[in-house]
Amino acid sequence: MSHPNVLLQPLSELETLDFGGFAQRIEDHFANGRRLLSLFGSPSSDPADSTPELHAVFVDREQGLIHFRGRRQGTQHYLSLTSEFPVLHCFEREIHEQYGLAMPGHPWLKPIRFEGTNLKRMNDYPFYKLKGKEVHEVGVGPIHAGVIEPGHFRFMCYGETVQHLEIHLGYQHRGAEALLRKTAPRKLPPLIESIAGDTAVGYALAHCRAWEALCGLSVPPEVEAIRCLGLELERVAMHLVGLSGLATDIAFLPGSSTYGRLRTSVINLSMRLCGSRFGRSWFRPGELRFPFNQSHKVDVRKTVQQVQTDIAIINNLFQKSKTVQHRLCTTGTVPTPLAQEIGLVGMAGRASGLPCDLRNELRGGAYAQRPIPLVIESTGDCWARGLIRIHEIDTSLNWIMQLLDTIPEVEAEPPPKAEPRPNCVAVSFEEGWRGEVMHSIQTDASGNIAHYKVQDPSLRNWFGLAQSVKNNAIYDFPICNKSFDLSYCGNDL
Amino acid sequence: MNLLDALKVRDSQGKQFVPDVRAANPIGFRGLPVINDAPCQQGCTECSDCCPTTAIQLQNFSLDLGRCVWCDECVRVCPKDKITFTAGYRTASCTRDGLLVHEGRGLGPVEASEAIRKIFGRSLKLRSVSAGGCNGCELEINAMANVNFDCGRYGIDIVASPRHADGLILSGPISANMAEALELCYEGMPDPKFVIAVGACAISGGVFEHSPVLDRAFLGRFEPDLYVAGCPPHPLSIVNGILDLMGHADGSW
């Protein structure tokens, strides 16, 4: 049985429309209330044609994943849909940057990550200008005060109030997608786990599912369960990083140190299960690399119970403290309609009231028999993005405790030999701790990788951070930034 | 704030610090590899074939920890158990060549730098720059300063400005888009100063080594005084490497 998180189609059967029909189909899906997961380009199958083919992926709660393709017909042009559907803005910008496809009508056609011909033009970023006598600009970065990835933030301020924030990324661009397309499949996973190293498990699982679909492999339910255990441990650990960071940024020291050391407990558990605090090398296509026996189960149960006990104590203090409430409540708000309009995803989307969670929408793997409750907040401020972490940690830990009872002892299994099917395309998704991670692999006539596309949830959510600080005081920016905790390298690739 | 709630947190917290970072025991950690001196199977190239970063040399068998990403692939394909990963976390060296592990021989000790000891004594302020780092090394550099590893007790601090820094901790393979900012940061640090390279990407480019959009010229000009291997290195690896370099005899503080 195929996995709901992945859709595999032979290229000959992939629904293909001309650019006009493609745009119409996108409009229809939006009209029917379906959620867009991705819009990306791939090189044309005709080597003489420099116009890329475009791929759109939607999710429907009943039908699951929907994937179709747009192709230029004759001298047809693609007309930007961003003005009508702002959700598309970052995808169209990326396609424009990667393939040079004109985007007539796009209101904000700026570089996403300065790749390709844009490389080394970092100082030419076309910042939006605010004019006026008492208006001033504040530039921060690319290097920041803490231990954090680089990116540039340009604030246009009137007094201390931010009128507009422009986020200029690209400093982390390592050419990851180009490397993915020329690396031998068996050597891919370590590279995949390094695209956004804080989401190593989420990325590895999205890759596993895409590759397994292409090779016609499947893994037994107990392996699925261990994969979901790894994914939820990563979520808990990174949410703890977020809470610790939020507490640090508002000088709430008990939260900073307690959430921080709880994270150590959780990642050390991952280390005892697979050798890596980040779950690196834990998951590979078709394979169970590390055994899971009774002593592991006892270890997971004991560690999770201890974290549950201790986190309740710090959560109580964190949520009751006036200093925390004062700094986080109503700060950096993205109201639901705006979140919907710009297409926030993952944890940040749920904090703004959007029910976007692929664990819930697709119910793949261990989430099929044992659905994980959807956690949602409505206020969309820093407080909501703090609370969503607290509640998701609780939910994930409870879910792990229930799941644990169902996992039998399993021995490590070497990977089966398998070759990918030629001329196919697989799109695969995983709800990582930040949000949905996409991997799409296309094979050529010999079964080699012809195209590999990855998408981090941060690509869509950076614009949400920019929106959240509007009309906020500039000194609240660090907590807004931490509350989103987005990936720079996941965006820059 | 409710005082009683705060006291409960303090009580639950207990003592979290690793008492002696020189003698810690990170159970389950896939750390320092050991290469046994039993001969390889005739003509076998399995481990070097599967290595994603060409870290293994078959002639005069060696494993380059500056490239290794600890993916465990070589261990799994080897018919002779040539390579074993241990929980050892002392994965630092003061030279690039020092990161080569040979048969029956691990890493040499990190030599204390007389200059660093003399100039900076027992206080070392470091500036972290991520230049294409995936947030793995960055999270572990951060963890080095948390309540568990608590490098502050040894006088090691991460500072917020290059103006305050004695040394630069570099993570990431140095993306071309970040090369200029990295130089500017290093230029902004007062002399004397030095560089610490943390993680496979910073040391060799790691899995990104062959990407055309890196610019690693910085390392050609400013050779690091310390290399900490790992993908990412354990916070214990980073702390121990720095303590060695500072000439700390033991883990006392």
Distance in Å, alpha carbon of A278 to nearest chain B alpha carbon: 8
Tokens of B195: 């560089």
Q: What is the DSSP string of A264-285?
A: HHHHHHHHHHHS-TT-TTSEET
Judge residue A33's burial from the number of C-beta atoms within 10 Å of its C-beta, 0-12 exposed, 13-18 middle, 19 or more buried.
exposed
Q: Is the pLDDT of residue B87 over 80?
A: yes
**Confidence class for position B183, pLDDT limits 50, 70, 90:** very high
Distance in Å, alpha carbon of A96 to nearest chain B alpha carbon: 19
Residues of A in contact with B202 (CB under 8 A): none
Give domain A176-457's CATH architecture.
Orthogonal Bundle (1.10)
**Distance (Å, rounded) from C-alpha A291 to C-alpha A297?**
11
**Confidence class for position B253, pLDDT limits 50, 70, 90:** low
Q: In 10 A of CB B145, how many CB atoms?
A: 20
The A residues from 81 to 120 touching B (CB cutoff 8 Å) are 114-115, 119-120
Q: Is the pLDDT of residue B106 over 90?
A: no
The B residues from 136 to 155 touching A (CB cutoff 8 Å) are 136-143, 146-148
Any CB–CB contact under 8 A between B32 and chain A? no
Tokens of A450: 């012809």
How far is the CA of A464 from the CAs of A165, A332, A341, A342, A461, in angstroms? Answer: 11, 10, 10, 7, 5
Half-sphere exposure of residue A103: CA atoms within 13 angstroms, side-chain side = 25
The A residues from 213 to 232 touching B (CB cutoff 8 Å) are none
What pLDDT is attached to residue A1?
53
What pLDDT is attached to residue A303?
98
- Interchain proximity B213–A260, CB inside 8 Å: no
The residues pairing with A35 across neighbouring beta strands, listed in sequence order, are A59
B3-50 pLDDT per residue, tens: 999 999 999 999 999 999 999 999 999 999 999 988 999 999 999 999
| Residues comprising chain B, all counted | 253
The structural domains of chain B, ordered by start, are 13-253 (3.40.50.12280)
| Residues comprising chain A, all counted | 493
**Distance (Å, rounded) from C-alpha A444 to C-alpha B241?**
47
- Interchain proximity B147–A115, CB inside 8 Å: no
Preceding omega of B192 cis (within 30 degrees of 0): yes
Half-sphere exposure of residue A348: CA atoms within 13 angstroms, side-chain side = 34
Question: What is the SS3 assignment for A3?
Answer: coil
One digit per residue, the tens of pLDDT, for chain A of length 493 reads: 589 999 999 999 999 999 999 999 999 999 999 999 999 999 998 888 889 999 999 999 999 999 999 999 888 899 999 999 999 999 999 999 999 999 999 999 999 999 877 777 888 899 999 888 889 999 998 999 889 999 999 999 999 999 999 999 999 999 999 999 999 999 999 999 999 999 999 999 999 999 999 999 999 999 999 999 999 999 999 999 999 999 999 999 999 999 999 999 999 999 999 999 999 999 999 999 999 999 999 999 999 999 999 999 999 999 999 999 999 999 999 999 999 999 999 999 999 999 999 999 999 999 999 999 999 999 999 999 999 999 999 999 999 999 998 999 999 988 888 999 999 999 999 999 999 999 999 999 999 999 999 999 999 999 999 999 999 999 999 999 999 999 999 999 9
Tokens of A49: 């044609």
Question: What is the SS3 assignment for A334?
Answer: coil
**Distance (Å, rounded) from C-alpha A476 to C-alpha A211?**
43
ipTM confidence = 0.95
Any CB–CB contact under 8 A between B13 and chain A? yes
Q: What is the DSSP string of B97-148?
A: GGGEEEBTB-PPPPPPPHHHHHHHTT-EEEEEEESS--SHHHHHHHHHTSTT
Preceding omega of B232 cis (within 30 degrees of 0): yes
What pLDDT is attached to residue A47?
83
Residues 6+ apart with CB under 8 A from A427: A6, A7, A38, A55, A57, A65, A67, A210, A438, A439, A440
Closest-CA residue to B216 (of B229, B202, B226, B231) = B202
Produce one character per residue of B106-124: b if its CB has 16 or more CB atoms within 10 Å, e if not. Answer: bbeebebbeebeeebeeeb
- Interchain proximity A313–B8, CB inside 8 Å: yes
Any CB–CB contact under 8 A between A323 and chain B? yes
- Interchain proximity B177–A114, CB inside 8 Å: yes
The A residues from 128 to 157 touching B (CB cutoff 8 Å) are 142-143, 145-150
